[in-house]
Structure formats: C-alpha cells, structure tokens
Amino acid sequence: MPNYKFIQCDVFTDRIFAGNPLAVFPDGEGIDDATMQKIAREMNLSETVFVLPPTDPSKALKRLRIFTPGAELPMAGHPVVGTWIVLARRGVVAPPESGNGTVRVFQELNLGILPVDIEFERGSPVKVVMTQATPTIGEPLDEVEAASQALNLSPEEIGDDVLPILIASTGLPYLIVPVRSRSALSRVVINNSALTALLKRVGTDAVYIVTRDTYSPDAFVSTRMFTDESIGIGEDPATGSAAGPLAAVLTHYGLAPMQDSVAHFIIEQGVDMGRPSRIEVDVEVEDKKLKSVRIGGGAVFVLKGEIEL
C-alpha cells in the first residue's frame, strides 16, 4: 500500500506551539478527492494541503489543494504561506545565488494562478508573501443586533466610530464585525444557531471580528475568526484569507497607516486561543483605488510523519 509523507508546521509565528497548525503533503499525486477530504478530517487541523503537479507547468510551479475538515477551499492564506516554506525547505524553490533575497513563483489554486514571493536569508526561507485577488468591499450592513446575539456581546460593544459591519473578499468573502475593545473581543462566545442564521443571510460562512484595541503594541488590530459549523473549523488562530480583506477595508476607510501609497501593518490573531499569530499585510493604493493586497509571514516545522493508504 502506498505511503504518503506529511509535515506539520505552525504558520504566522517564529516558534512552535503558536500560530496556526498546518499539515502539508508535499507529494499528493495519486490521492483521490474523497481520500484527501478524509485525511483532512483525520488531521483535524484548520487546513491540510496536498501539493500536486500544476495543470499547466508553463503557468505555475505547483498546484495546491486546500481542505478543511469539512470542505475544500478555493484559496486560503496560512496554507499557502506554510506550504511554500515547506517546499522551499525541501529544495523545490532554490534561494538566490547569494543566499539572500526574494524569489517569485506562481502557484495554481482552485481560485486561479497567483504569485508567491519567498524571502531567503543565508539560504533558508524565512517568509512567504502571497498576493491575493482584487479586493471587493460591500456596503455597510445593519446587523448590530444580529451580531450581538451571534457573539454574545451587548449591542453597545459592537461597532466602531468609523468602521462598519460589512462583507469583504480577496478571494473568499468574510463578514467583518468591529468591536470596541479587546475585552469584548476576548469575551466572544459563539451562539452557533444565531451565527449560522446571520452568515446565511449575508451570504458567507465566516466572521472576522476586529478591534483597534490591541494586545501587542506593534500590532495595528487584533482579530478572531469563526466559521459556520459546516466548515468544520470553529475558531481559527490565524486566517490569511480574512486578513487580506480586512486590510483592504481598513485602507478603504482611511484607517490604515500609509507610507508612499502603501499601507503596511500587523494583524494579530489567536491570542485568546493561546496561539498568538502575526500576519503582515501590505495594501497598495494607486489613484485613490486599492491596487493589490499581500499577506505574509513565516512558519516553523513541528513534526513529520507518513500515512499508509
């Protein structure tokens, strides 16, 4: 029976037992769709990635298929960052001749072909930066009462003087819900039926809760992410596919720190789970319009093993 090796790493952190755990199968060719889903359910992490040959080698170096315990995703942030750290460590991407610098490759996701930049220091990959899809930002939503019920907070704790509740996407849509303090953020307890009803009504399956009252002095915002029960995640300690839309929203509403037409800042997540994560984001603005959104971070190896099918 075939054996498939996997590596588990923690993403958006520089130390083990923090960040968001990820399982990567560097050679997933030969595993059928149903078995990929079963493996992801068995791993029971936020996501499991299967690396495959690209559909068109002239357009992408590798194809990544990303599964939660409950479903396949068209794209995600922490799986991309962690997988390319793994692949670069395995020699799939060679460092620059000097050992230092950035190498750009293209990856195939179910969403399409997107670039990835891998930063090397002394020949080792230290950071992966993912360019996400063009951001879309919805209109403000009047959902304070519904959000307070879903999050078990008072209506007075929901909201921000500038930032509204809305839907935003850079590939996956998220309901962005601002709260007024990190105390409120820490006290969120999900009412599953109320959250499911709210997410179904607004047309997404995940909520990203944000406050500008941060835990770390160098973080710009602190966040938590919860999904509908059907996704099989619950709370996620670091969500790159949500950090991108949030970064776009903060820039769109004039809240993000700008320098030379680029907003650069850190989103912290996972603190209340005991898995602090740091997601670096860059939003480029051109002619007062959002041009690109990039998210990045590092990853550390935790364990490796193999599964016999």
Active-site annotation, residues: 47
Amino acid 109 reads: L
How far is CA 4 from each of CA 36, 37, 260, 264, 307, rounded to the nearest angstrom? 11, 15, 47, 39, 5
Q: How far apart are CA 133 and CA 277, in angstroms?
A: 22
The first and second tokens of residue 30, run together, are: 């030969």
CA neighbor of 169 nearest in space, from 134, 209, 202: 134
Amino acid 155 reads: P
